[in-house]
Amino acid sequence: MTNELAQHCRQSGIKNETVLNAIESVTRSDFLPADLVDSADVDQAMPIGHQQTISQPFVVARMTELLMDNHRMQNVLEIGTGSGYQAAILSQCVNQVYSIERIKPLYLDVQQRLQQLGYDHIQLRFADGISGWQEHAPFDGIIITAATASVPPALINQLSDAGRMVLPLGTPGVSQRLCVINKNQDTLTTSYHDPVVFVPLLPGQTDT
């Protein structure tokens, strides 16, 4: 049950009640392959095909909490839609979510899934996430759900003057730390948090 995930996240240190309510209200099994549905309440990352994963619920909650920082954001850009689970969680916490996926089959699957589930405040795009989504910038928040050793400049430029970015920063395929970048006009401040392991952030679009 999703309330078990919320309770686990609370016990693991998540304090933001809006985030905890989102973890409770979003049914994770809706975002898993059929053969993994019975493991939906296990707090671990799981494969979703195409060498991609759905993150463990605690990491999803933690990244969302770091992004929110107890403030209501109007619009958030997500780089790496994947299964759509992180986008669904974000949609319970902010007014509008824009999410970019570079792998065509995942994009088509999640587009249908979110429509069927009634997530009306998530807009998807099949594109190279490293370039962001200039048409809807600036964004109050940007969340990157893949590892990178450096922050794409285009995404920094698409943050609002008081915007915030959360991403796994470090060596892809090895280990990273959750990094929070706060933008105050032309000044950036950075802080580092939990150790994580994410799939790499890759450029370009792919149909496979």
CB atoms within 10 A of CB 155: 24
Residue closest to 106 by CA, chosen among 26, 206, 37, 27:
206
Residue closest to 54 by CA, chosen among 91, 92, 104, 88:
88
Q: Which residue carries 């049914």 as its tokens?
A: 27
Candidates 29, 55, 99, 175; catalytic one:
55
Residue closest to 79 by CA, chosen among 126, 118, 34:
126
Q: Is 124 in contact with 59 (CB distance < 8 Å)?
A: no
29 is catalytic: no
- What does the block give as tokens for 76? 């958030």
| CA 78/CA 165 separation, integer angstroms | 10
CA torsion through residues 75, 115, 61, 172, sign: negative
| CA 43/CA 156 separation, integer angstroms | 31
User: Which amino acids are annotated catalytic?
Assistant: 55
